[in-house]
Structure 1
Amino acid sequence: MDPVTMAAGSALVAAMATDAWQQARDGMVALWRRIHPERAEQISGELETLRGQVLQAREDHDPDTEQSLEGVWRLQLQMLLQRDPQAAGALRRVLDEQLAPVLNQGERERAYSVIQNTTVSGGTSYVAGRDIRQEPPTPKD
């Protein structure tokens, strides 16, 4: 899954619990309106429902439900980008300009922590979310 999609899904769910949730909703609806206009109003309604679900999960101290909602919206965003891969830049702008600014520092760091960029030229790179174990090379005779 695209890292921007993952970050945007996390940020969207977190933003729904803020006072600026309408700004987050409007940014997402505008994105849908551009790529998939026939679904924009439906998405607006789904985002209203999402807000209620996020608020209920937080009231119930239920992080599992909140994580599940993130997964659902990550898939929604992934399908949107599959329809128009060129929209990744627009999604990144919604993330950077409308979702992330309304989050507290911890939520912002959590959303962006899924984005990794690695460039390797003429060598080997190992990227992992946790530990890497590697056996030492066998000596050549």
Structure 2
Amino acid sequence: MDPEIAVLAGTAGTTLVTVLTTEAWQRARDGIASLWRRAEPDRAEAISRELDVTRRDLLASGAADDDLEARSELGVEWQGRIRRLLAAHPEETESLRKLLNELAPYTPADSSVTQHASASGHAKVYQAGRDQNFGSR
């Protein structure tokens, strides 16, 4: 898989989950459904409904003090869907970039984390977006 697609899908999953609880949620839903409508028309309506369910889940988790974990799980779920769509239909990459640019004003500046690492030989790389512990506590 193209690493650029993986990074773009990760950003898209995070952005999508972030904006689904803002006033831009309908634009986000329509934009994502539009990607599917062009690439896989038979799935577009189901994707739109799944985005509505994701929004309801996010709103419910905020009320239940489970927001951070729910956002993370749902972001990973949508990242995978978008990554698979782009892998099968790379022609939609530019459309997704345009949508993300439109949605950027509705996301906090620190809503995503970008990590880069290189390892060679027998080296190991450990990355985390949050706490990371090694050994017994």
TM-score norm. by structure 2 comes to: 0.75
Q: Report the Cα offset of residue 102 of structure 1.
A: 2.1
Asked if residue 38 in structure 1 is aligned to residue 42 in structure 2, the reply is yes
Paired letter, 1:114? T
2:50 & 2:63 partners in 1: Cα distance?
Answer: 20
What is the aligned partner in structure 1 of residue 114 from structure 2?
114
Give aligned-pair identity as a percent: 34
* 1:11–1:95 Cα contact (<8 Å) kept: yes
Q: How many residues align?
A: 115
CA RMSD of aligned residues (A): 2.1
Paired letter, 2:110? E
Q: How does 1:39-58 map to 2 (within 5 A)?
A: 39-58=43-62
1:20 & 1:95 partners in 2: Cα distance?
Answer: 11
Asked if residue 24 in structure 1 is aligned to residue 28 in structure 2, the reply is yes
Which runs of no fewer than 5 residues in structure 1 stay unpaired? 117-127, 131-141
Task: Report the structure number with the largest CA radius of gyration.
Answer: 1
* 2:18–2:111 Cα contact (<8 Å) kept: no
1:83 & 1:69 partners in 2: Cα distance?
Answer: 21
What is the aligned partner in structure 2 of residue 96 from structure 1?
101
TM-score norm. by structure 1 comes to: 0.73
* 1:8–1:95 Cα contact (<8 Å) kept: yes
Q: How does 1:52-71 map to 2 (within 5 A)?
A: 52-62=56-66, 63-71=68-76
Q: Deviations over 1:54-83 (max 9, x none)?
A: 111122221112100000000010110111
